[in-house]
Structure 1
Amino acid sequence: MRPVGCRTRHDGRTVTTSAPSPAPSPSPPAGPGFDDTWVVVPLFCEASVIAGVVRGLRERFRYVVCVDDGSTDGSGAQAEAAGAVVVRHAVNLGQGAALQTGIAYALRDPRTRSVVTFDADGQHRVEDAVAMVARLEAEDLDVVFGSRFLDRRTELDRLKRLVLRAAVVYTNRTTGLRLTDAHNGLRVFSRRGAQTLRIRHNRMAHASEIVHQVGRSDLRWAEQPVHVLYTAYSRSKGQSVLNSINILVETLLG
């Protein structure tokens, strides 16, 4: 990376970033978004899985930036060794802040036509991201939201499903959009769509904030069915029913 002294603020804190620089080229196959898409991965203490996530992404996307949000377990080094560009927050600021830093970083590359947001814990599938980028391009959209509820592939227990549905109902009523899944971290934005975002909620309420900003704009959007993989590891990292309740509470408070 080439430090240029650019500084991004979240809640009054200052974070140093650097100019986008290409990671080493992965092996083919190339596909939609291969040369003009950046994948943004907010990263906090995922050292045991992040290398595999990055390697999987770089089979289909050339450019991956992980925003190491104050990790203490060497996650950033693992991501860098796997081929990602790593931007570091000196302290943990939250997923919303990490996304805003990563999106701003990606947009500094003049080649960027689309930006993917992708979780670090292995629950998202690269093939879903590829399909969403292809749809964004084919239908000239600005945003494609991934949805767990457009088909039945994603396995959710009844209470978690109910809580997430409640969050969707509230978000739809307050944003003007009609989504089936408002809190899925797998999204694709056109350059125009990404430039519209100003994420100020650092924690989980950022997901509703993104939907709200899209709803207030003239951005063209669609939903795409995706298969979210809830492994024992991802559940242990905060994908429990309690976390879903926290999302609902933050949505209401936000």
Structure 2
Amino acid sequence: MQNDDVWLVVPLYNEATVIAEVVQQARATFPHVVCVDDGSRDGSAEAAERAGAAVVRHPVNLGQGAALQTGFDYALSDPAMRYVVTYDADGQHQVRDVEVMVERIRHGDVQVVFGSRFLDERTEASTMKRLVLRAAVAYTNLTTGTRLTDAHNGLRVLHRDVVERLDITQNRMAHASEIVAQIGAMRFDGAKVAYAEEPVHILYTDYSKAKGQSLWNAVNILAELIWR
């Protein structure tokens, strides 16, 4: 089966109105999707299951970092899994971008592919959001020894060897920088983990903006980085 070695890991929290469509669209290309329901109160888990996703539940809300770690552990239980994709539940990510990123990592010369909304002009983000995110990227690059253009993009493709070594402890928004830091510090056979970026389209819908994700997520990321 095509892409049978890929698992999409989807942190899920109160997205009942959109998660079924997100899962259905993803599974048309990537059959293995696990949604980690992080204490939702709106029927998100049931909607994801009806759409064909595997669902793992947190009884209380622990945060996106914790949800990703749970999803990684679930995906690792499949011995056929070679790649994990981290994928948002709110419809902002595009399946076509995932296809391109998976194709990139299959070449075998990198172990991680990060999505970047700043490598082309498809993503329509406000000037303030871009400034805040670029400040967060500059901080992350400075403190992790990596060189990325969009360190806090939730769309990533990770080789199994990398997933096995990740140990996310930052449960809230700062988990993205922690992932980058751990990858930046990893070595395989004495060599640093190779990574690449691919341009992706983050679709800021009326739905995601209504949830406060147009700007405040970026501000929260920067605040958590400074606090950490």
Seq. identity, %: 63
Map residues 93-112 of structure 1 onto 2, 5 A cutoff: 93-112=62-81
In the superposition, the TM-score normalised over structure 1's length comes to 0.86
Q: Which has the higher contact order (CA 8 A, sep 6+)?
A: 2
Which among 117, 131, 151 is matched to residue 100 of structure 2?
A: 131
Say whether the 8 Å CA contact 2:112–2:158 is kept in structure 1: yes
1:252 maps to amino acid: I
Which among 207, 210, 213 is matched to residue 179 of structure 2?
A: 210
In the alignment, which residue of structure 2 is the partner of 1:174? 143
Map residues 77-226 of structure 1 onto 2, 5 A cutoff: 77-217=46-186, 218-226=192-200
Q: Deviations over 1:13-62 (max 9, x none)?
A: xxxxxxxxxxxxxxxxx65xx11111000000000000000000100011
In the alignment, which residue of structure 1 is the partner of 2:189? none
Q: Which secondary structure does the structure 2 equivalent of 1:115 belong to?
A: strand
Tell me how large the CA RMSD over aligned residues is. 1.0
Q: Deviations over 1:68-119 (max 9, x none)?
A: 0000000000000000000000000000000000011101110000000000
Task: Tell me which moved more, 90-99 or 229-238.
Answer: 229-238
C-alpha distance in structure 2 between counterparts of 1:110 and 1:174, whole Å: 34
C-alpha distance in structure 1 between counterparts of 2:144 and 2:51, whole Å: 38
In the alignment, which residue of structure 1 is the partner of 2:13? 44
Q: Which runs of 5+ in 2 are unaligned?
A: 187-191
Which among 232, 242, 254 is matched to residue 216 of structure 2?
A: 242
Moved over 6 A (4+): none
In the superposition, the TM-score normalised over structure 2's length comes to 0.96
The number of aligned residues is 223
C-alpha distance in structure 2 between counterparts of 1:99 and 1:237, whole Å: 20
